[in-house]
Amino acid sequence: MNILHETILKHPQQNIEKYTLENSQGYSVSFLNLGGTITSIMAPDKNGTFENVVLAYDHAEQYLENPYYLGALIGRVAGRIQDAQLGPYKLEANEGEHQLHGGPHGFHSVYWNVRTEKRDDAAVAVLTHFSRDGEGGYPGSLDVQVTYTLDCDNTFTIDYEARSDKDTWLSLTNHAYFNLSADSGRDVLGHALQLNAEGIAEMDEDQLPTGKWIPVKDTPFDLKTGKLVREAAESDNRHIINAGNGYDHLFLLEQRDLNQIIVQEEESGRKMTVQTSEPAAVIYTANKMDTVHPLKAEQAKGPYAAICIETQRIPESLLVPGLPTHKLAAHEAYRSRTSFTFGLV
């Protein structure tokens, strides 16, 4: 196991530091102190060629704005909040009247404190941040710790822990965009996606939840046996069309000890297995991604450039009895785990 550290951009506010976790098989995960942003996950194809399987910007300066939230930690609450309002609290809006991914000063934009630890069986980085009471409009002083672990079994795990001194709302995730065809320039229409879901959250024209769940049976959202992303993109299902001809939906996962999502791409031979303790995940196939903000030259660009898997809690408007929502009681421990295991089809 090995851990590398370098300064990639000197900045008057704070330097951007890059950390790289490496295992003995050649797999590696690189991330920044800015936003805890994952910039690279190196994994081999069927020929043994290691390439970056997450989208990355072409220049370090682009991470100061990061309009796509590429690879960033998201908080306090992932997703859209209608009218930027939670209970009596008015939040900072950043998508018209609504709030998206924690607002303009969300966790994607903060500099996290980082400490690293090299173990015999894993390379570990612990990221911490203190979010003061009222930050972004949210109540409660919040201590957050996110742990990145790359082990010898080629599994990258993200552990989230937090605690607030007041009742608040919290739903943390990571916004990495995956493309298992890596530097080929191919989009993800040929990627197969498999997951066990009971339903999806119905969305209105602004992609805000209506409060209803739609059963997945006999729809393009039934992925229990796997479907190519192309099948969704070409569907005439109105919920697919409304999202920009693809997935941008909250899936209610079948409840198990660890819920599982599988992504694979035949041509490269790569396979990624995602396991999560969370009850739901937004699957986004970059339907509305533009080409204004340059990505790495070899990577796919524009619509369907990648798949984002945002594991998270359930909004109160979609409350399901017995499952964790994004409401967090004062002094209650918030814990969540999502892991990504890389292998071959």
Say what the pLDDT of residue 137 is: 96
Say what the pLDDT of residue 254 is: 87
Rounded to whole angstroms, the Cα distance separating 127 from 103 reads 20
Say what the pLDDT of residue 301 is: 92
Q: Contact at 8 Å (CB) between 73 and 112?
A: yes
Say what the pLDDT of residue 324 is: 87
Say what the pLDDT of residue 321 is: 87
Binding residues: 175-177, 248
Cα torsion 244, 72, 210, 202: sign: positive
Q: In one letter, which amino acid is 11?
A: H
Binding residues for beta-D-galactose: 175-177, 248
pTM: 0.96
Q: Which domains does the chain have, with CATH numbers?
A: 2-187+283-344 (2.70.98.10)
Rounded to whole angstroms, the Cα distance separating 175 from 189 reads 19
Calculate mean pLDDT across residues 253-278: 92
Q: Could you tell me the pLDDT band of residue 317, with boundaries at 50, 70 and 90?
A: confident
pLDDT of residue 113 exceeding 90, the answer is yes
Ranking 37-51, 129-143, 254-268 by mean pLDDT, the lowest is: 254-268
Here the tokens at position 102 are 């924690």
Say what the pLDDT of residue 57 is: 95
| Cα 75 from chain centre | 11
Average pLDDT, the chain: 95
| pLDDT top residue among 275 and 319 | 275
* Pairing, β 192-195 against β 177-178: unpaired
Calculate mean pLDDT across residues 77-102: 95
| pLDDT top residue among 150 and 290 | 150
**pLDDT tens per residue across span 213-260:** 999 999 999 999 999 999 999 999 999 999 999 999 999 998 777 789
Say what the pLDDT of residue 96 is: 93
Say what the pLDDT of residue 292 is: 84
Which segments of 216-333 are extended strands (E)?
Answer: 227-228, 248-253, 259-265, 270-276, 280-284, 307-312, 327-328
Half-sphere exposure of 177 (CA within 13 A, CB side): 26
Calculate mean pLDDT across residues 178-204: 95
Which segments of 152-229 are extended strands (E)?
Answer: 155-164, 168-169, 173-174, 177-178, 192-195, 197-203, 209-215, 227-228
pLDDT of residue 12 exceeding 90, the answer is no
Calculate mean pLDDT across residues 155-167: 98
Q: In one letter, which amino acid is 107?
A: F
What residues act catalytically? 175, 310
DSSP per-residue letters across 92-150: PP-BTTBEETT-TTSGGGSB-EEEEEE-SSEEEEEEEEEE-TTGGG--S-EEEEEEEEE
Longest dimension (CA), the chain: 56
Give percent above pLDDT 70 in the chain: 100
